[in-house]
């Protein structure tokens, strides 16, 4: 499975647009953003205290304090009107501009007023101590925000500090979601006839698409008719950045879905079937430049596979090359878990008191997912995990 996913790297990327900083959270920059000037732009104090010449504090101690004359004070937001000369000190607030002549700031905790206009210093400081350089955050031209990584709150703060009020980002990928099956009916159906099921998968997939930075577009429910599916897919292809199909679980329906996808355009199907449980009948294709993902019909299988495989494809289409980290925790496995070599197993678990307890059930049961706090992955090379093993649990947000 790892080889199939590593090789499936569709080239499609969404267009670039400029958005204001207020709308840029989680958007993906299309190009690196550089500092237009040094940041913070001036040397400033990191503590409340006194701006001094570091050499004037050498050798001082609590038993042998040094004495400096206070010649002025720096106000916040104002340029200093005083220069620090030998034997002098200037009162400093945190964030204040370092006055000329000073090369350090001694914390107020290490000073005391000896007499009006004179302080004693009981701890020496080194040049640069208590000070941020004018270009310590960034030099002019430095990359302050890389491309390919979704913007975080702290990134927006950095951009604002640099005076950048808009950023060029990739448009959100438009992801068209189709459900298929004669038995599938809209969620708003009040009364189900025998054999009918409400479409639970599309709503959950839309949420996962949004989590991955995409814009979900409902494609509707298509009957088990390869001609109807192909027609619907062809109609959606021009306006889609990614197409997702929740296909039927039976072999015949899967084959019809694959045949419809194969006729959409080159290069066609990348793989049909993955060594993963749940989710073996997954289909990956690229048709006329649009990635197409065929998911199993069982809701749990579809959602598990899309989280692992579909979400990265959506992110990539939106220019994201550095996926945001997922929340996880370490826990001890409560029981033995068997697995087949050469197959990646995804096991849902509940977590409590540092213990991961597997939650089992058929792939058609959504209650397994709603009961789980997260999941663990048994790698392809493993034959299982022993009770008591330390495992990484990927947590659901």
Highest CATH level, class, for 174-317? alpha beta
- CA 313, 317, 322, 323 dihedral sign is negative
CATH number of the domain located at residue range(s) 16-38+139-170 in this protein = 3.90.105.10
State both tokens at 21. Answer: 């900083």
Judged by average pLDDT, the poorest of 101-105, 148-152, 161-165, 221-225 is 221-225
User: Is residue 3 predicted with pLDDT exceeding 90?
Assistant: no
Write out pLDDT tens, residues 249-293.
455 565 688 999 999 999 999 998 888 998 888 999 999 999 999
Write out pLDDT tens, residues 219-243.
999 998 889 999 999 999 999 999 9
State residue 341's pLDDT score: 87
State residue 249's pLDDT score: 47
Q: How far is Cα 160 from Cα 228, in angstroms, rounded to an integer?
A: 50
Residues in the chain: 397
Judged by average pLDDT, the poorest of 11-15, 136-140, 228-232, 246-250 is 246-250
User: Is residue 388 predicted with pLDDT exceeding 80?
Assistant: yes
Write out pLDDT tens, residues 13-67.
999 999 999 999 999 999 999 999 999 999 999 999 999 999 999 999 999 999 9
One fold for both 16-38+139-170 and 174-317?
A: no
User: Is residue 4 predicted with pLDDT exceeding 90?
Assistant: no
Torsion of CA 67, 73, 74, 80, to 10 degrees: -90
What is the bridge-based pairing of β-strands 118-121 and 328-333? unpaired
State residue 226's pLDDT score: 81
> Of the candidates 46, 49, 50, 53, which has an alpha carbon nearest to the alpha carbon of residue 102?
53
Fold exhibited by the domain 44-132: Molybdopterin biosynthesis moeA protein; domain 3 (2.170.190)
Q: How far is Cα 53 from Cα 102, in angstroms, rounded to an integer?
A: 5
Q: How far is Cα 265 from Cα 288, in angstroms, rounded to an integer?
A: 5
Q: How far is Cα 249 from Cα 243, in angstroms, rounded to an integer?
A: 18
**62-88 in b/e burial notation, b at 16+ Cβ within 10 A?**
eeebbebebbbbbeeeeebebebeeeb
Q: How far is Cα 311 from Cα 295, in angstroms, rounded to an integer?
A: 12
Write out pLDDT tens, residues 329-375.
999 999 999 998 889 999 999 999 999 999 998 777 899 999 999 99
> Of the candidates 164, 122, 123, which has an alpha carbon nearest to the alpha carbon of residue 143?
164
CATH number of the domain located at residue range(s) 328-395 in this protein = 2.40.340.10
Domain boundaries, the chain: 16-38+139-170, 44-132, 174-317, 328-395
């Amino acid at each position: 499975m790892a080889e199939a996913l590593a090789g499936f790297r569709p080239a499609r990327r969404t267009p670039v647009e400029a958005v204001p900083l207020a709308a840029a959270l989680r958007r993906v920059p299309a190009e690196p953003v550089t500092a237009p000037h040094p940041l913070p732009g001036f040397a400033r104090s990191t503590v409340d205290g006194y701006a001094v010449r570091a050499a004037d504090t050498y050798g001082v101690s609590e038993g042998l304090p040094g004495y400096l004359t206070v010649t002025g004070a720096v106000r916040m937001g104002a340029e200093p009107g005083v220069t620090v000369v030998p034997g002098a000190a200037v009162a400093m607030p945190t964030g204040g501009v370092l006055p000329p002549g000073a090369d350090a700031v001694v914390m107020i905790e290490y000073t005391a007023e000896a007499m009006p206009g004179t302080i004693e210093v009981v701890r020496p400081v080194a040049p640069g101590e208590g000070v941020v350089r004018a270009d310590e955050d960034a030099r002019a031209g430095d990359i302050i925000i890389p491309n390919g990584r979704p913007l975080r709150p702290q990134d927006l703060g950095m951009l604002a500090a640099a005076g950048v009020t808009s950023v060029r980002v990739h448009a959100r990928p438009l992801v068209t979601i189709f459900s298929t099956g004669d038995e599938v009916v809209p969620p708003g159906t009040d009364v189900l006839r025998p054999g009918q099921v409400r479409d639970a998968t599309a709503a959950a997939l839309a949420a996962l698409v949004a989590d991955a930075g995409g814009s979900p577009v409902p494609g509707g429910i298509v009957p088990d008719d390869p001609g109807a599916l192909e027609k619907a897919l062809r109609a959606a292809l021009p306006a889609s950045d990614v197409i997702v199909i929740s296909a039927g679980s039976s072999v015949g329906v899967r084959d019809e879905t694959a045949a419809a996808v194969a006729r959409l355009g080159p290069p066609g199907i990348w793989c049909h079937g993955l060594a993963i449980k749940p989710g073996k009948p997954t289909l990956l294709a690229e048709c006329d430049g649009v990635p197409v993902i065929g998911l199993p019909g069982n809701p749990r299988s579809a959602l598990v596979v899309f989280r692992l495989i579909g979400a990265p494809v959506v992110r990539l289409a939106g220019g994201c090359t550095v996926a945001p980290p997922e929340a996880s925790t370490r826990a001890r496995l409560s029981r033995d878990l068997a697995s087949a070599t050469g197959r990646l197993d995804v096991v849902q678990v509940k977590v409590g008191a540092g213990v991961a307890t597997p939650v089992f059930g058929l792939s058609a049961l959504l209650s397994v997912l709603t009961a789980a706090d997260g999941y663990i992955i048994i790698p392809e090379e493993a034959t299982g995990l022993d009770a008591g093993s330390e495992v990484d649990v990927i947590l659901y947000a």
